[in-house]
Amino acid sequence: MKNIAIFASGAGTNAQKIIDHFRGSSLAKVSLIVSNKAEAGIFKIAAREKIPAVLIDKEQFFRGDTYVKLLQENNIDLVVLAGFLWKVPSNLVQAFPERIINIHPALLPKYGGKGMYGHFVHEAVLAAGDAESGITIHFVNEKYDDGGVILQERCTITPDDTPETLAKKVQALEHRWFPLIVERLLS
């Protein structure tokens, strides 16, 4: 049985889809939830699903190996960033090479980098007049949104799209593809 750790900063909708996908699976399970925000909805999901959850201390996250040890002690095979808004420190990337993945709500390399998340991404895509948007699932390295692309899926942008309607199209792609890619990487 492979162990998945999900890092999230928000409501946890992608985390819930991954948890649901692996419920009853003989391949893998979500065995740890990690967040940097005490008020994040992901903690409610963790409690409901009876998955251990940890609130990150910023100082320890960026200095030292507290969280590398935590992941190793929990025999984590894959770290999944599902709306986690901090850059992953190099010691964690080095401890889990090609075993940390992220989902980005746009087609990288456009609209990536520090501060490019959520509605900021969708506003930028619409302001640029792009004909399509989508998701990028990628490996994590020491830079924001820079690791090797695993999968990109697209959606069409219509003239009446708003950041909110585009977000819904992109989220549908996230919910469909993210659990499948996690499964593929663990198989």
**Residue 117 is part of which domain span?**
2-186
Q: What is the pLDDT of residue 186?
A: 97
Q: What is the pLDDT of residue 87?
A: 93
Q: What is the pLDDT of residue 121?
A: 97
Instruction: Decide the pairing of beta strands 100-104 and 2-8.
Output: unpaired
Q: What is the pLDDT of residue 14?
A: 97
Mean pLDDT, rounded, for 1-29:
97
Mean pLDDT, rounded, for 132-151:
96
Mean pLDDT, rounded, for 107-129:
95
**What is the tens place of the pLDDT at every residue in 17-38?**
999 999 999 999 999 999 999 9
Q: Residue 170: is its pLDDT beyond 90? A: yes
**In what helix (H) or strand (E) does residue 176 lie, and over which residues does it extend?**
helix 163-186
The count of C-alpha atoms lying within 13 angstroms of the C-alpha of 100, restricted to the half-sphere facing its C-beta, is 25
Residue 158 assigned to a binding site: no
The amino acid sitting at 185 is L
Total domain count, the chain: 1
Q: Other C-beta atoms within 10 Å of 62: how many?
A: 16
CATH code, 65: 3.40.50.170
Share of the chain above pLDDT 70, in %: 100
Burial class (CB in 10 A: 0-12, 13-18, 19+), 138: buried
Mean pLDDT, rounded, for 156-180:
98
Residue 136 assigned to a binding site: no
In this structure, are residues 152 and 134 in contact, taking their beta carbons and an 8 Å threshold?
A: yes
Instruction: Calculate the average pLDDT of the chain.
Output: 96
Any idea which residues carry the catalytic annotation? 104
**What is the tens place of the pLDDT at every residue in 48-92?**
999 999 999 999 999 989 999 999 999 999 999 999 989 999 999
Rounded Cα gap, residues 49 and 68, in angstroms: 24
Q: Which of 182, 185, 139 is nearest to 22 (CA)?
A: 182
Q: What is the pLDDT of residue 64?
A: 87
Residue 83 assigned to a binding site: no
Q: What is the pLDDT of residue 175?
A: 98
Residue 13 assigned to a binding site: yes
Residue 10 assigned to a binding site: no
Model-level pTM?
0.96
Q: Find how far residue 47's CA is from the centre of its chain.
A: 19
DSSP string, 56-114: PPHHHHHSSSHHHHHHHHTT-SEEEESS--SPPPHHHHHHSTT-EEEEESS-TTTT-ST
